[in-house]
Structure 1
Amino acid sequence: MRSFRQTVLTKSSREKLLRWVSLALMLAIAALYFSLPAFAQNKYVITDGDNVIVCMSASTDPQVVIREAGLELGESDTYTTQKQDGVSQIKINRVQMVSVYEGGQMSVVGSYGGTVADILDALDLTLSPNDVLSCSLDTETYDGMDIRIVHTETDTITYEESLPFETKRYESGALAPGEEVTLVEGADGLCRYTAEVIYEDGEEVSRSILSQHILSNPTDAIILRGVDRSVKEQEFSDQPNYFPASTTRPWEESGSSQPAAGESPVIPGTDQTYSTLLYCSATAYTCQDKHGVTTPGTTFSGTPARVGAIAVDPNVIPLGSKLYIVSADGEYLYGYCVAEDTGGAIKGNTVDLYYNTYDECIQFGRRDVLVYVIE
C-alpha cells in the first residue's frame, strides 16, 4: 500500500506566495505597458511647400518624424503641427530670402511666405502714384525673389540746341587749279525746344518734343575749289557761247579811274583786285521780246538798260558798286559790270544780268555765279 506525502502550507506561507505572484503580475503589466509604444504606428501628413509626404512613425517628436521622412530643417526654418480627423499634420515653413530694390538701395527680407504687399509692409514702404512695381502687390513670394520699385517723374523743360551747318563744295574754273576759296563761313543756327522728359530713379529714359522754335537758321559754308579750266573748255567746245565776257570796265567809259592796286586779292585771270566775293544766284533779263522787237529801257538809276548794267538787291550790293561776274563752274563769264538796277524778285544774294537778246536770256536761264565786288 502506497503512502502519500502531504505538504501543508501554513497561513504565513500562503500570504508570502500571494505577494510574489502579485508582484510578478504587476511587473508583467508594466512591461507590457511600456513596450506598447515601440510597436504602435502613428500616421503623419507633412507639407513642405508644394511637396506633401504621408508617413507612419512610432515617434511623437515632429523633428524626428521630419527626419524620418527624409527632410531637413534649415537654421531659420520652422514648423507647425495640428490634428485633423485624427491625423497629425506637420507644416514646414521654409524661410524665403526676398530682395527689394528701391531708390538705388537693396534690402533683403526673410519671409515665411505671403505676398509682395506683406514684404513692403515689413519694410514700411509706401508706393506713390508715380511708382512702378515690377510685380503686382498680390503676387506670392518665393525664395530668391527680386522686387523692384522704380520712382518715375515727368517734367516739362525748355532748352536750346545748336543747328549744325552744312559745308557745300563747288568746282570752279574761275579759280586756279587746286585753289580753294571760302565764299561763306559756316555758322550754326539755334533752336529752342520744349519737351516732356520722363525720369526713372532720377535718370532720363525718354524725351518727347512738344514744340520747337528756330531762333536762327544755320548758314551753310560754301567753298569753291579751282579746276583746270582748259578741260572744261574742251568739254563745252561744241556748245555755242551766248554769253561773251565784258572785258572792258564800264566805269572807265564814264571817265572813272581804275581802283588802285594794293595788297588785296586779285580776281583769277585778271590784274583786278577786289574787296568782297559773293556767291549768288543769277538770272537774265532783256528789253527784247521773244519776237525780236527791242524796246529801250531805263534802269532804276536812270541810266539806259544795257549789257554791263545789272539789277541787284541794294541791301546786299549797293547801287553803283563796280562788279566782276563769272559763273561758279567757270563755264560763262559776264565780266565787268555796274549795279544800276533793281527788281521786285531780286532779293538777297540774287542778281539779274542784262543781255541784248531774248535768246541769250533763255540760254542763260538760272545759274550760280561768283560776284567780285571791285575795290
Structure 2
Amino acid sequence: MSRFQHVAAKLLLPVCALCLLGLDFGRAQDAGSSPAKQGGTVASSVNIEVDGQVLAVHMAGGDVAEALKVAGVELGEEDECSPALSEAIAPNMMITVRRVCTRTVVQQEPIRARTRVVPTRRLRAGITYIKQHPEDGLKELTYRVTWRDGKVAARELLGAQVIRPVKDKLILVGGESQKLPSRGGYFTGRRVMKMVATGYPAMVTGTGRTYLGLKAERGIVAVDPRVIPLGARVHVEGYGEALAADIGSAIKGNRIDLCFPTHREASRYGRKVVTVRILTP
C-alpha cells in the first residue's frame, strides 16, 4: 500500500464508523417508538382498580380473568368484577374489582321503659301512687349485613327476640278525669286557690318529658306536690284544664308553671295571679 492510500484509509475509517453508529441509533429509536409486542402481537395496556390502588398490566389478547391472574389479583366468592371475567381485553381497558362480604350479625338493644298514668277509683281524688317502677327490657336483633369495599352497603333485619321484658313505670291517679262543661255550668272543685302562674316552654328540660315521664305540652302544669298532688286534674283561669305532671326547683307553695309549646308563647304569658281549681270526680 502506498503512502497516499495509507493516509486515506486513516481519514475514511472514522467516517465509516459514524455512519454505522448512526444506522444503529436510528433503528433503536424506531424500536422504542413502536408499541410493546409479546410474541409478535401488539400488547394492550390494562388498568385494574382493586383494594384502593390501580395496577397496570400489558396484555396481548386474552380476557379479563387472564388480566387479573397476570396482576396477581384473586377474587373471593362474593367479589364483584366489571367488566365480566369472560370479556375480551381491549386497549386502555379499566377493570374494577369490588370486595364484597356478607355476614350474619347479632346485637342487643335496650327496650326503653315508658310511663303510664292510670286513673283509679281506689285512691282518693288527687292522690298518686307508683305501683310499678320502670325497668328497661332487652332484645336481640339478627341482621344480614353486606360490606362493599369495607363499607356497609346493605343491612337486613332477619329476626328479633325479647330476652328481658320491659317494665313500664305505672302511676295510679286517684279519681277519674272529668271534662268541664262546654258552656256556662259550674265547677265542682274540692279546693279553689289563688296562685302565681308563669309560663315555661316544653323543651326547657332538654328531654321534652315531665317528672312523671309524660310528654311536655300544653295542658301540663308544674306544681309543688305539697300543695297540689301530682296527677291531679286542675283548671287554671285563662289557661284551661290541665294535668299536674311536673315539678320545678322554683315552684314552691302557691306557684304554678304552665307549659307552652314554644319559648315565645311562654314569654308572652308572663306572670299572673290566677284562680286554680282542683277538680274532683
TM-score when normalising by structure 1:
0.33
Q: Which has the higher contact order (CA 8 A, sep 6+)?
A: 2
| Bigger CA radius of gyration | 1
